[in-house]
Structure 1
Amino acid sequence: MSDQPSDASSRPETSPESGDAVESASGSAPEPGSGVASGRSGRAEAPAKTPARASTRSVPPQNDGPDVPKVPAYLQKTPRPDVWLRGGQPPPGVLSRLRPPPPPAIGPATLWSAFATALLSALLLGDGVGLNLLIVAVPAALGAFFAARSAGRRLRPWTAVWAVGGLALLTIPALREAGWPVFLAVVSALALGSLALHGSRSWPGVLLGSLGLFPSAAAGARWGWHGVRARADDSRGRVRSVARTTAVAVVLLVVFGALFASADAAFAELLGSLTPDVSVGDSPWRVFLFALGLLGALAAAHSAAAPVRWDGITVRPGKPRSRGEWALPLIVLNLLFAAFVVLQLVVLLGGYDKVLEETGLLPAEYARQGFWQLLWATVLTLVVIALALRWAPRGGPGDRTLVRSVLGALCVLTLVVVASALRRMDLYVDAFGLTRLRISVAAVELWLGVVLVLILAAGIFGARLLPRAVAVSAAAGVLVFGLVSPDGLIAEQNVQRYGSDRAIDIDYLKGLSADAVPALNTLPEPLRSCALENFQRDLAAADAPWYSTSWGEARAQDILEKNAVQNHGTECYGLGQEADEREGYEEEDSYDPY
């Protein structure tokens, strides 16, 4: 195309054989000696005698731009077909389905929340656990919220359930001094927090999503570093201003705080109890806690902005079996369960003494012998149900009715087995007292019964919510287990047994946590002082700040300050260790792994 199309179009139309028309249209000057008349001569030679082919040969090619050299064919790169591909592009792999899109740049609110989490971790977590875990978790949760909002994620109901449940579990360290329920609560809180960030709903998503913070640790650190560098380059003046302001505020607080503390002893005591005790000797430990808090907060924020799609992992159902092949083994198992349940009902309705007479077992032996077997029977039943659902027939409504009927009957019969196991544990505890091991396995058996009820409900209303419902039930069980104070229940039950002229193991009770002090404080002397002497010595030596002191420990300190223990000397040795001879059975599992 010509650079000036308006000039060519304004000229008179001429025949294609005219050389003037061709050259004027091309916009180029006539070559000398070409036989084309000059415009100044006033006359033109006969162009009709010139063949049309000659005139067309003189037409120069139109050039729209600069000349581009042609690339030889042997140098041209053409994509070669992949000989391994059949039927087009392959489907995306598992990793590509799980990998999240890159998150947007980290915002200032998220950065400040991560820094606050790291600073609080370094200042508060070095003296133990208590309310400080909840204090540290709050800015980390805010940072994750800010990151999710910047990425366009909305707060969904299940996300709120996981988040509130995780924060509620972190209240257990602030309430209980016992380490084992605190450990369960902290682990469960981390799992619920990860589920809140990823929003999983399937079985693989719920199981793997509870561990989802670990893959985001390195990515979160890089994400935060890039954000810090970008903001430092763009706002060096503001960074200096913030640093100066912080330094001035710290200097003012130190100077005037020291003056007021030296002027008033009460204010000095209050300031000392509120201020974290930071010494030079534990600086490496504080630096480690700072880095741990920073990495954890950045990992949580990165997961909130770019969650891993754990729900992309799909488990293919097994090959469906025929009705007879699938149902016959389960029907036989149901008949076996039914026979056992009928026997348990007979024993419950009055045949208990006859069974003991025929078997020659003592009541405690009968109870102890059956609990563990029934616990494993419950666990294996859940495994059988999971495998049966994998290979269940899926032909139509008739198959669905068969599956619901057979598995529903199995769940109902297993619930009776759960009740029988709990009854046996109750008999065993009544004979020998409550321990940490016994209350733990009883709680697990009770939770398995809740899972069976949820499976029954899923068979009626659908299984879409079953994975999340099971996770909620587990977290709720851990929360309730911590709130009821298991060590306090153990001490209270053993004290009640002693009031009923039963034996009491003082040595075992002395190994409990400070949560047991209120119950042990009701024992008569010298048992009370013998049971509490270790607690008074340990609490007197403890110098934990307020944020790492649990409510159970503070209550025990208050009780022992009001009513100190008495020194009974050697009288405490062997006291309360006599065996319970009235049952005629010596307990074999005196060793408790807890």
Structure 2
Amino acid sequence: MDRAMPSVLVAVATSGLVAALALSPARPGLGWLITALAMAVAVTVAARSTETSVRKRNPGWAILAVALIAVGVFRDSRWLFVLCVITALVAASLAVAGTSLRGAVEAPINALTRLHWLRRGVREIRPRGNARTLLAVAISAVLLVVFGGLLVSADPAFETLVRSLVPTVDSSSAFVSVTMFVAAALFTTGLCWAMTQPQPESSLEVPEVSLRRVEWVLPISVLVLLFAAFVSVQLPALFSVAGDLPYAEYARRGFWQLLVVTALTLGVIGLASRLAPRETSADRIWLRVLLGALALLSLVIVAGAAARMWVYQEEYGFTVLRVLVLACELWLGLVYLLVIAAGVRLRGSWLPGVAVATGMAALLGLAVLNPDRLIADGNIDRLGRTGKIDYFYLTKLSADAAPALRRLPQPQRDCLLYWPTTALAKAPDSWREWNLARAQARSWLVERHAPCADVPLRN
């Protein structure tokens, strides 16, 4: 199909309009979920009404994308929501373009490269007598503005209702609305193109390479022996539960190296499983034994790295970066378990899609756990054990941490709750910005300024 069908044009325009009216990019909120749902419905309707829709749809990815966007309704953490939005875009692309590396980025790429397809669709509807329809739309808009303006000026209650539903129009808000319209319309274009066009031939196919057994067994064996030596020497330190300061510094120093090692090893295992021959039973035995051993040793290193990070957090306190990296390590451990499961039968075509899905599910699970509150709770628990806490860092957390901050003793409690709650009270959410965490934090407003001068922000 060399042009966008009318149903696609309607989907693009609908998504753009909903985004322009509902999205507030400054804050996570209800408008993001409304826009995601509108976009999902618009693309689905466009695909079903287009006879040339040939790709297999995967509603599971679409549901995951909407769930990730829904995080903005319940969590106020900006860094968490940004990760969820980026991941949701990838999930939406996979839903319409197929589970592959190309499918993960096809919709965003199409959004920037398929404008000619959209233009042809617009040009095609011009000579078909739609001028009257456009005239009817214009007349409707004029009537809405004229009579709506008169009714707004006639009744204060109706004016309040309209102002709550319609965003204030000024230069800055108009620019934001136009930007949101363009972004949503472009991404919807990319989704519709991927849904209505045949699957393109991949240009990333790895050529068939015939390796002799020694050509892959030797390097993998060397790596296995190296990992085995490292694990045997470092096993006591990897899983030590000592909480002394020297070990905490040792854990910090070794963690990043172990994280890089585990990530690189996944690439080595994937390449070896792709290139190694498996025609004979001996080939398959070598493949299972060596790659299985490498995966098991890597799993031990992953567990050791996670243990190091946990002990380091227990000693120095919880932060966003440390919690996020620990979650990544736990996900890598799950991926290695999947690798071992795929290696048992030497069938791993399902592995990339499942690994990506578990990563997205892990991010969604992290959002359910409420990381900012988890960080605040961890630091408050550390205060009870060690008497040490960084109050200044707690003040930088989002409204998600407010329930944990209520556990602090006075005057620290009111001091740390005063600034965020009063800031939220001065900047109420509109309907499109409504967020459960911020609404809950406002209910704990500290109206009287606490004596923060007597509270040491760093302890």
Distance in structure 1 (CA, Å) of the matches to 2:32 and 2:62: 15
Q: How does 1:176-575 map to 2 (within 5 A)?
A: 176-200=75-99, 206-217=100-111, 220-234=114-128, 235-249=130-144, 251-260=146-155, 262=156, 264=157, 269-280=160-171, 282-306=173-197, 309=200, 311=202, 313-322=204-213, 324-343=214-233, 362-461=246-345, 462-560=347-445, 563-564=446-447, 566-572=449-455, 575=456
Distance in structure 2 (CA, Å) of the matches to 1:196 and 1:103: 22
Tell me which protein shows more helix as a share of its residues: 2
Distance in structure 2 (CA, Å) of the matches to 1:345 and 1:282: 58
Which residue of structure 1 aligns with residue 41 of structure 2?
142
The structural deviation recorded for 1:281 is 5.3
The structural deviation recorded for 1:494 is 0.7
User: Is residue 2:53 matched to residue 1:153?
Assistant: yes
RMSD: 2.8
Which residue of structure 1 aligns with residue 8 of structure 2?
110
The structural deviation recorded for 1:252 is 4.3
Over 3 Å counting, the alpha-carbon distance change for 1:243 and 1:509 in structure 2 is same
Which residue of structure 2 aligns with residue 586 of structure 1?
none
Over 3 Å counting, the alpha-carbon distance change for 1:288 and 1:325 in structure 2 is closer
Deviations 1:198-237 (A, max 9, x none): 124xxxxx22322212442356433333333333432322
Over 3 Å counting, the alpha-carbon distance change for 1:507 and 1:394 in structure 2 is same
Distance in structure 2 (CA, Å) of the matches to 1:348 and 1:387: 28
The structural deviation recorded for 1:258 is 4.4
Over 3 Å counting, the alpha-carbon distance change for 1:227 and 1:388 in structure 2 is closer
The structural deviation recorded for 1:365 is 2.6
- 1:577 partner amino acid: R
| Contact 2:93 2:105 (8 Å CA) reproduced | yes
- 2:458 partner amino acid: Q
- 1:304 partner amino acid: M
- 2:111 partner amino acid: A
Does the residue aligned with 2:132 lie in a helix, a strand or coil? helix
Does the residue aligned with 1:212 lie in a helix, a strand or coil? helix
The structural deviation recorded for 1:310 is 5.6
The structural deviation recorded for 1:469 is 1.1
- 1:122 partner amino acid: A
Distance in structure 2 (CA, Å) of the matches to 1:136 and 1:352: 47
Distance in structure 2 (CA, Å) of the matches to 1:185 and 1:352: 33
Does the residue aligned with 2:105 lie in a helix, a strand or coil? coil
| Contact 1:488 1:519 (8 Å CA) reproduced | yes
Distance in structure 2 (CA, Å) of the matches to 1:166 and 1:127: 18
Over 3 Å counting, the alpha-carbon distance change for 1:403 and 1:535 in structure 2 is same
Which residue of structure 2 aligns with residue 38 of structure 1?
none
- 1:223 partner amino acid: W
Over 3 Å counting, the alpha-carbon distance change for 1:513 and 1:105 in structure 2 is closer
| Contact 2:91 2:104 (8 Å CA) reproduced | yes
The structural deviation recorded for 1:502 is 2.6
Deviations 1:467-492 (A, max 9, x none): 21122122112222222221111111
The structural deviation recorded for 1:169 is 0.9
| Contact 1:103 1:305 (8 Å CA) reproduced | no
Q: Which moved more, 1:391-400 or 1:467-476?
A: 391-400
Does the residue aligned with 1:421 lie in a helix, a strand or coil? helix
Does the residue aligned with 2:211 lie in a helix, a strand or coil? coil
Over 3 Å counting, the alpha-carbon distance change for 1:105 and 1:340 in structure 2 is closer
Deviations 1:438-474 (A, max 9, x none): 1111111111111111211222341121121122122
Distance in structure 2 (CA, Å) of the matches to 1:293 and 1:326: 47
Distance in structure 2 (CA, Å) of the matches to 1:255 and 1:506: 54
Which residue of structure 2 aligns with residue 581 of structure 1?
none
Deviations 1:146-199 (A, max 9, x none): 33221343684x611111111111112222211111111111111111111212
Distance in structure 1 (CA, Å) of the matches to 2:255 and 2:382: 21
Distance in structure 2 (CA, Å) of the matches to 1:218 and 1:347: 51
| Contact 2:106 2:190 (8 Å CA) reproduced | no
Over 3 Å counting, the alpha-carbon distance change for 1:378 and 1:469 in structure 2 is same
Distance in structure 1 (CA, Å) of the matches to 2:46 and 2:273: 40
Which residue of structure 2 aligns with residue 120 of structure 1?
18
| Contact 2:15 2:42 (8 Å CA) reproduced | no
Over 3 Å counting, the alpha-carbon distance change for 1:379 and 1:298 in structure 2 is closer
Deviations 1:102-131 (A, max 9, x none): 356512x33323222222222233563422
Over 3 Å counting, the alpha-carbon distance change for 1:427 and 1:126 in structure 2 is closer
| Contact 1:143 1:301 (8 Å CA) reproduced | no
User: Which structure has the larger Rg?
Assistant: 1
Distance in structure 1 (CA, Å) of the matches to 2:167 and 2:9: 24
Distance in structure 1 (CA, Å) of the matches to 2:302 and 2:252: 15
Normalising by structure 2, we get a TM-score of 0.89
Does the residue aligned with 2:444 lie in a helix, a strand or coil? helix
| Contact 2:373 2:404 (8 Å CA) reproduced | yes
Over 3 Å counting, the alpha-carbon distance change for 1:339 and 1:227 in structure 2 is closer
- 2:377 partner amino acid: E
| Contact 2:224 2:294 (8 Å CA) reproduced | yes
| Contact 1:127 1:544 (8 Å CA) reproduced | no
Over 3 Å counting, the alpha-carbon distance change for 1:386 and 1:246 in structure 2 is same
Identity of aligned residues (%): 35
Distance in structure 2 (CA, Å) of the matches to 1:273 and 1:143: 25
The structural deviation recorded for 1:568 is 0.7
Distance in structure 2 (CA, Å) of the matches to 1:278 and 1:212: 35
Distance in structure 1 (CA, Å) of the matches to 2:265 and 2:117: 46
Unaligned ranges ≥5, structure 1: 1-101, 201-205, 579-594
| Contact 1:221 1:299 (8 Å CA) reproduced | no
Distance in structure 1 (CA, Å) of the matches to 2:188 and 2:238: 55
Distance in structure 2 (CA, Å) of the matches to 1:348 and 1:474: 25
| Contact 2:24 2:432 (8 Å CA) reproduced | no
